[in-house]
Structure 1
Amino acid sequence: MRFTSAGLRSWLRSHPLFGDSLLAVVLTAGTLVVITLIGAEEVARLQGATGVEIRPPDALNMILAVLCTLPVALRRSRPFVLLTLTTLPECTLNSLGYNTGLSEIAGLILLYTVAAHRGLALSLAGLAVTVIGYAVGAGLSPLTLSWPEHAVIIVVILLCWVSGRTVRLRRAYLAELVQRADRLERAREADTRAARAEERSRIARELHDVVAHHVSVMTVQAAAARKVLDSRPAVARDALTAIEEMGRTAMAEMRNIVGVLRTDGPAERAPQPGMGDLRTLVEQMREAGLRIRLLVEGEEGTLPPGIDLAAYRLVQEALTNSLRHAGPAAGAWVTVRHGPDELTVHVEDDGRGAAADPERPGGTGHGLVGIRERVALYGGVLRIGPRSGGGFEVHAQFPLKQHSPLRQHGPLKGGPLKETA
């Protein structure tokens, strides 16, 4: 099996106990080798050169040194406790004049581990334990070091501590970056889900408005054609022709809406209907048998696209409900007022009303729910319910002030009411 250096480092990171145990074995073996190489002759030579009593290596020397190095194997589990416990054999080695071998390196490794894996308070406590342990050991040791040598050792201790703190801070910074990226990813996914839900809701509203309107008109015309099929075949033929044209129109509008969902090519989209198509809508409803009067007040200007479509769909749904539920002799009125700050749309009929027709929606049907959503989307006010004096009404006000950059019309004229009978 082929190993690379990067793969070995990754494996050691995933198995820290093995790496720490290997490090402890290497330090222990190195310490024993260093202690063993300095025999009695070398000790005598050092004693003669320094005039200081130096003890030759023996079993106690090796045991104390091993007690300083072997705990490195468990440095990630209890680094502060191990650093504190190894300070005692380290001070004993110095006070008895033994050769310490590599035990000082083990102490520095434990100090680094405390600084890198524990909080600031515990890491400062570990630094204090190391400095105090060194001071006690140096004071009890028969060997005397100069102040520059002490300063170098203190600097090395501080460097180990600073290195550990730097690694900890960097690790915390990287973890924060990962968490922030996760939060941003979750937020992006939530925004995507919300956008998809909103788009599905919009498409559902469009499909409902198109299908409900055209199918209702076709149903009424088909019923009328059935009644006069034998007595007045020419009228029945005209009604069937109107049904055919209405069906084609419905299919064309549905293709335009569903074309947005295509992913294999550019969607074929026709312009969405708006208030400019209101007279065409009224004519269609008249042909279906509903008596309608259209009133338009104020200067007709360019409305914001969203409000333009929402107002058109509101009139379409209200007239469709009047055609289906108001009764054969009912009449309807559509009033549109273009103001400088708002657009008002009022649709009413003098039919049977919601109470007389149990099938007539009293504000809870899918179409009326779609109207509420459209009006609420643009901050409008909507009132739906029975009309005083009989019938049913839908009244909506769309604010235009926040959409003023898109609205391009002149001031409201005070002339007579424009009426299309």
Structure 2
Amino acid sequence: MGIEGSFWRAIAVYRVASLGYAALLLAAADGYQRPLAGWLVIGVMAVWTAFTTVAYSTARSRALLVVDVLVTLGCMLASPYVQGTGAEQPGLMPITATWVAGPVLAWAVHGGRRAGALAAVVLSLGDLWLRGLHEFNLSAPVNGSVLMILAGTVVGHVARLTKDAEERLQRAVEIEAANRERERLARGIHDSVLQILALVQRRGLEIGGEAAELGRLAGEQEAAVRELIRSGPAAAERDSAGLVDVGARLRRFTTPSVTVSAPATPLPLPAGQAEELIAAVGAALDNVRRHCGEDARAWILAEHDGDSITVTVRDEGPGIPAGRLREAEAEGRLGIAQSIKGRIAGLGGTVGLTSVPGQGTEIELVIPVHG
């Protein structure tokens, strides 16, 4: 149930206490022409209080909340019949008394301040009708209606803030548990896998030949595993709003031949956009390896200027000859055209490509940030 369950238990207690207060008012009041009808209304209120106490503890559907308002409004509008025709309409005290605020609190906890205020307005209109505003009696008291609207707004706002705080706390606990588990696994990996990869890299370079290639691959895997351990699980890179830190995801490309430079502050993007941007960067790195060799150096630079996120992938390869991209598209090789430009264009961004033969290639990916 969590913190929200505490709100619903408090509402149940409020309903019971308000029911007792309404019964005391009926028992102590004089002048009711139909007291038996009044006790019948109190009985309906008691049954509905018991039902909602159980119902709200298991299910909180919109239909139940609507029926709650209608039942309360019906009990309140029965007050003129209970009091009789001889009573003064403007000074009528509804038979429900403070019990009428129960649905307002329920709507506020379920839907927030707007829902609470809306339920309060509906019930306040019924209360004001009983107090004489239907006859344009502007002297009728409205304090109860104002207090009910304020209560619905404030309680709804507090309930929403409390739910958000609980979600943030739960996420913090999950991240802390994930970090502890990662640290435990990191210790075991460091004492076994990383040391073996480092040994393979060192001995492979010493032996030379094909063993040197194995050593190089082992070194890349060692760097990748270290970065994976350092950056943590992908779930920890997503905040409560569903935004992904692009900088943290880019750091996973770090290898002995790939250097990633990203700001310490998050580079937030919605999960879908972040995945497309990361895929485009991965395609750019694949092109570097394919055309410049496995050992080619590459640099990834990410920055955020407030309106857009810019990711630059640069290499020191032979560059792209003039007209080569058009020839590749004509041959059906659409790596840059679709894997990179197509993805970025789908996000509303732009791709800039600068290449000088013999001096390398630079691809600039710009993604607009909305809100």
Normalised by the shorter chain, which TM-score bucket?
Answer: 0.3 to 0.5
Q: Which has the larger Rg?
A: 1
